[in-house]
C-alpha cells in the first residue's frame, strides 16, 4: 500500500489535505509528521485517530533522525512527501524572523535530504504566491515571474523553493512546487484575517484593518487549494511550478464588509490601524498552467465559501476557545496595541 508523508498535517491546510487524501485515495496510507506548534493543534486532528490508514508522529522537520524515521512505515520508505510544515504568519515573521528561517529553510533542506536518502519518488513543496512580491493594479504573476519576496516569511518560503530546485537539478529529485494564494476555511488559526474577523465580530471585538484597506488578495477556499495540491502531486511534471489561485480579487476592506454583512454584524466593527510594514499591495495569479496540465480550476465561490466558513467557526466553539488561549491573547495584545482590550460593544459609544 502506498505511503505518503505529510508534514504540518495538524495545521490548517495540511489537516484539510489529509482528510481529502484519505477520502479520495483509498489505497494510500498517511503519516502526519508535525511538531504541534501553537498553530498545530491536537483537536484539529482528533477525529482521525481511529483511521487504520493513518498515523500521527510528533516531530520537527529540522530533526534529520526524526524525519528519516517518519519516512519509514513497516520497513518501507514513503512513496511521496507533501511538505506543508512551516511558520506561516507574516506578522509574526515581521516581529521575529528566526523561527521562519529555521523551520521554513533549514527544515525544508533537512526533509529534502532525508527524502533523497530514503529514495522517495515524489516531493511536493507547498509554497505561496508571496514569493513573487507585490503587484500594482494591473497584471498577474506567472510561474516564470521573478522571485521578489518582501516579508521575512515570504523570503523564507522563496529560499525553501530554491533548495527544492537545487535538489531537482543536482540529485534528480522528482519534486513539484505549488504556489497557493490566500486560503480560508475550517481549522485556520484565528490570527489570520478571515478567522480573526469572524471570531472578533462574534465576540463584539473590533477588527483591525491595516493601512488603507485597499490591499488586494485573491482568496481560495481550502478545499480548492487542497484539490490543486493533490492534482499536482498526481500529475505535476517533475521540476514544475504551479500557481493555484482563487478566482475573485477583493480588497481587504470589501472582504470585511462582505463578511460582516453575511454574519449580520455592523461594519462599524472595522477599525483602521497602522499598516503592516512592507505590506504587499496586490497578489494575483495566472493559473493557466494548472488548468492546462492538471485539469484544475477552483470551484468554490467566495460568497459561498465565506458563508460556510462562518458556519464552521460558529459551530466549533470548543475549537475556537482552545485556539484563543492565553498565549494567543498575549500575541493579540502585542500585535494590536491600539485596539481596545474590552469587547467593542461594551466600550463607551
The residues that touch ligand DAU, with contacts defined as CB under 6 A, are 88-91, 128-130, 181-182, 192-193, 196, 208-210, 215, 217, 252, 276, 283
| Strand, helix or coil for residue 180 | strand
> Of these partners, ligand NAD, ligand DAU, none, which one is at the site of residue 103 (CB under 5 to 8 Å by kind)?
ligand NAD
Chain length of the chain: 349
Q: Is position 153 annotated as part of the catalytic site?
A: yes
Nearer to ligand DAU, 66 or 223 (CB): 223
Asked if residue 85 binds ligand NAD (CB under 6 A), the reply is: yes
- Confirm or reject binding of residue 40 to ligand NAD (CB under 6 A): yes
Measured CA to CA, the distance from residue 51 to residue 30 in angstroms comes to 10
DSSP bridge partners of 19? none
Given candidates 112, 124, 126, 256, which one binds ligand NAD under the rule CB under 6 A?
A: 126
Q: Minimum Å distance from CB 17 to ligand DAU?
A: 14
Within 148-167, which residues bind ligand NAD (CB under 6 A)? 157
Torsion angles phi and psi, residue 285, rounded to 5: -120, 140
SS3 content of the chain, % helix, strand, coil (to 5): 45, 20, 35
Q: Where does the chain have alpha helices with state H?
A: 12-24, 64-70, 90-95, 98-100, 107-118, 152-171, 193-202, 222-235, 252-263, 288-289, 302-315, 317-323, 326-335
**Which part of the chain contacts ligand NAD (CB under 6 A), choosing from 34-42, 209-217, 269-277, 303-311?**
34-42
Q: Which is nearer to ligand DAU, 105 or 193 (CB)?
A: 193
Nearest distance from residue 153's CB to ligand DAU, in Å? 7
Q: Residue 8 Cβ, how far from ligand NAD at the closest point, in Å?
A: 3
Residues 6+ apart with CB under 8 A from 195: 184, 188, 189, 309, 313
Instruction: Classify the C-alpha dihedral 27-127-42-341 as positive or negative.
Output: negative
Confirm whether 130 is a catalytic residue. Answer: yes
Longest dimension (CA), the chain: 66
Out of ligand DAU, ligand NAD, none, which partner does residue 107 contact, by CB within 5 to 8 A per kind? ligand NAD
Q: How many Å apart are CA 53 and CA 332, to the nearest integer? A: 38
Is 107 an interacting residue with respect to ligand NAD (CB under 6 A)?
yes
**What, of ligand DAU, ligand NAD, none, does residue 196 touch, CB below 5 to 8 Å by kind?**
ligand DAU
Residue 14 sits in the site that holds ligand NAD (CB under 6 A): yes
- Site for ligand NAD contains 228 (CB under 6 A): no
Residue nearest to ligand DAU (CB): 128
CA atoms within 13 Å, Cβ hemisphere of 345: 10
Catalytic residue numbers, as ranges: 129-130, 153
Q: By the criterion CB under 6 A, which residues form the site for ligand NAD?
A: 7-8, 10-14, 34-37, 39-40, 60-62, 84-86, 88, 103, 107, 126, 128, 157, 180, 182-183, 189
Amino acid at each position: 500500500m502506498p505511503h505518503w508523508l505529510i508534514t504540518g498535517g495538524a495545521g490548517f491546510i495540511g489537516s484539510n489535505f489529509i482528510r481529502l487524501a484519505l477520502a479520495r485515495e483509498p489505497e494510500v496510507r498517511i503519516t502526519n509528521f508535525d511538531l504541534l506548534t501553537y498553530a498545530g493543534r491536537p483537536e484539529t486532528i482528533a477525529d482521525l485517530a481511529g483511521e487504520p490508514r493513518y498515523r500521527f508522529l510528533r516531530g520537527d522537520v529540522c530533526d534529520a533522525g526524526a524525519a528519516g524515521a517518519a519516512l519509514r512505515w513497516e520497513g518501507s520508505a514513503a512513496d511521496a512527501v507533501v511538505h506543508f510544515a512551516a511558520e506561516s504568519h507574516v506578522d509574526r515573521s515581521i516581529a521575529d524572523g528566526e523561527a521562519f528561517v529555521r523551520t521554513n529553510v533549514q527544515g525544508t533542506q533537512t526533509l529534502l535530504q532525508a527524502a533523497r536518502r530514503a529514495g522517495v519518488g515524489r516531493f511536493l513543496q507547498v509554497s505561496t504566491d508571496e514569493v513573487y512580491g507585490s503587484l500594482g493594479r494591473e497584471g498577474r504573476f506567472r510561474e516564470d515571474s521573478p522571485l521578489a519576496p518582501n516579508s521575512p516569511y515570504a523570503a523564507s518560503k522563496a529560499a525553501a523553493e530554491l533548495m527544492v530546485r537545487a535538489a531537482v537539478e543536482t540529485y534528480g529529485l522528482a519534486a513539484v512546487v505549488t504556489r497557493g494564494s490566500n486560503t480560508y476555511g475550517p481549522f485556520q488559526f484565528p490570527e489570520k484575517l478571515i478567522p480573526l474577523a469572524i471570531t472578533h465580530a462574534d465576540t463584539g471585538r473590533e477588527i483591525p484593518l491595516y493601512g488603507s484597506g485597499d490591499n488586494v488578495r485573491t482568496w481560495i477556499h481550502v478545499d480548492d487549494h487542497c484539490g490543486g495540491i493533490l492534482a499536482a502531486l498526481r500529475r505535476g511534471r517533475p521540476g514544475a511550478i504551479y500557481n493555484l489561485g482563487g478566482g475573485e480579487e477583493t480588497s481587504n476592506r470589501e472582504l470585511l464588509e462582505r463578511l460582516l454583512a453575511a454574519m449580520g454584524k455592523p461594519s462599524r466593527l472595522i477599525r483602521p490601524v497602522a499598516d503592516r510594514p512592507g505590506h504587499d499591495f496586490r497578489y494575483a495569479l495566472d493559473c493557466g498552467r494548472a488548468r492546462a496540465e492538471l485539469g484544475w480550476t477552483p470551484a468554490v465561490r467566495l460568497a459561498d465559501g465565506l458563508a460556510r466558513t462562518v458556519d464552521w467557526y460558529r459551530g466549533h466553539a470548543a475549537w475556537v476557545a482552545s485556539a484563543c488561549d492565553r498565549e494567543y491573547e498575549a500575541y493579540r495584545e502585542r500585535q494590536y496595541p491600539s485596539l481596545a482590550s474590552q469587547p467593542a460593544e461594551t466600550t463607551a459609544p
